[in-house]
A and B are shown apart, each in its own frame.
Chain A
Amino acid sequence: DAGVTQSPTHLIKTRGQQVTLRCSPKSGHDTVSWYQQALGQGPQFIFQYYEEEERQRGNFPDRFSGHQFPNYSSELNVNALLLGDSALYLCASSLAAGGRRWNNEQFFGPGTRLTVL
């Protein structure tokens, strides 16, 4: 049973560039949430996707956008990169709340370490 996978593992970009990060949820999960974790901090919620739509969003600018595909995988796009965007980007998958198999548990992927120079 595959867990949450993310690609790439590491990425180095320069200011002003654009980046796309990818996530495949755990088998059987339909909801994907993205978090940004700066060094020494806890993860910060960026947004969540369910049924191919953004369902909830944290306090991040419009430079951060995403997408969910019919197979439940997801992408996180960041435009006009800033030095402060350097962080570990985590994807978490879960079952939508209220379903028969729902248990509120979220599983995290290994993350993508983004460095902006």
Chain B
Amino acid sequence: GQNIDQPTEMTATEGAIVQINCTYQTSGFNGLFWYQQHAGEAPTFLSYNVLDGLEEKGRFSSFLSRSKGYSYLLLKELQMKDSASYLCAVCDTGFQKLVFGTGTRLLVSP
């Protein structure tokens, strides 16, 4: 089967750091994506990991451990505009089919 698990909701304060975890079990693995989605809008690409390790991109970093079926998204220096849902998605085949988790709703408070 295919299963992507991530927390339903997280809260944090402006300026803080938050880590959103994702564990996965899929029939295949061709990379893991993180997307940000504001309410009523389309998902926007944040990061892509296919090899183990940390990928850093400005205030956002993403980590992957393929042996553990685990990834996290790290958001630093949180801003109010970071309040959104964060979707973890695994590409399970060479044909780019994405399997999504239910998303983590992050609320950033002042």
Contact = CB atoms under 8 A, between A and B. Distances in A.
A65 interface: no
A55 interface: yes
Contacts of A31: 96
Counting chain B residues whose Cβ lies within 8 A of the other chain, the interface size class is 20 to 34
Counting chain A residues whose Cβ lies within 8 A of the other chain, the interface size class is 20 to 34
Contacts of B40: 113
Interface string A66-81: 0000000000000000
Given A104-B30, A104-B31, A110-B41, A42 B87 contact: yes
Contact of A43 (B31, B41, B48, B100): B100
Contacts of B43: 43, 90, 108
B100 A44 contact: yes
B4 interface: yes
Given A43-B98, A56-B97, A104 B91 contact: yes
Interface in B61-110: 87, 89, 91, 93-103
A42 B102 contact: yes
Interface of A: 4, 31, 33, 35, 40-45, 48, 50, 55-56, 58, 90, 92, 94, 97-98, 103-111, 113
Interface of B: 4, 30-31, 33, 35, 40-45, 48, 50, 87, 89, 91, 93-103
